[in-house]
Amino acid sequence: MLDTMIDQHVRCLQNLKTIAPAIQAAGETMLACLLAGAKIMACGNGGSAGDAQHFAAEIVGRFERERRAYPAVALTTDTSILTAVGNDYGYREVFARQVEGLGRSGDVLIGISTSGHSDNVIRAVESARSMGIATIGLLGKDGGALKSRVDRAIVVSSDTTARIQEAHIFILHYWAWQIESGLPAGRGDSV
């Protein structure tokens, strides 16, 4: 089974070459956002929540080189907000309420969903778009309902959730490299 999983993984990553221009353009959108003084927000459920947190850490901390911190927030981390909003408004609103409270025109929201059908991510995207916030969908399978709702859809064409998630983290690492490569190098540098 290990050989089979490795072969599937390699094929899935090789297929990313067919969507390379879309991946590159999404990274450029995020870089421009940060250089303009805005922020990146990210959300998703389960493993995609972990990916949102991982990506925010790469932007606020660093990916591979020393530089100043830039603003990125995973909307998946504040248990008080998640449980209060979930209790008072329903789980469908846990990310949309945060976008409404934290987001500003010029920001970017990344919605991560292996199915493309996560209702709370769809609501976050709807909220973001109504506020003039650029939206990027990091999706799987056929892109689902989110594909047509985001400004930029990055769809990993696979039916296996694990392979989609592996490709998603690869793309997030590529974006972290792409963004970091376009940012000023020193800790004290400002935009």
Question: Binding site for Zn(2+): what residues are annotated?
Answer: 54, 58, 165, 173
Please give the C-alpha separations between residue 107 and each of 36, 91, 100, 140, 186, in angstroms, as whole numbers.
9, 23, 12, 23, 23
Determine the 3-state secondary structure of 104 from DSSP: coil
Q: Which residues contact 22 (CB under 8 A, 6 or more apart)?
A: 152, 153, 154
Q: Which residues make up each annotated binding site?
A: 45-47, 54, 58, 87-88, 113-115, 118, 165, 173
- Residue 18 CB neighbour total at 10 angstroms: 9
Q: Which residues make up each annotated binding site for substrate?
A: 45-47, 58, 87-88, 113-115, 118, 165
- Residue 105 CB neighbour total at 10 angstroms: 10
Q: Outline where 1-65 has alpha helix (H).
A: 2-15, 20-35, 47-60
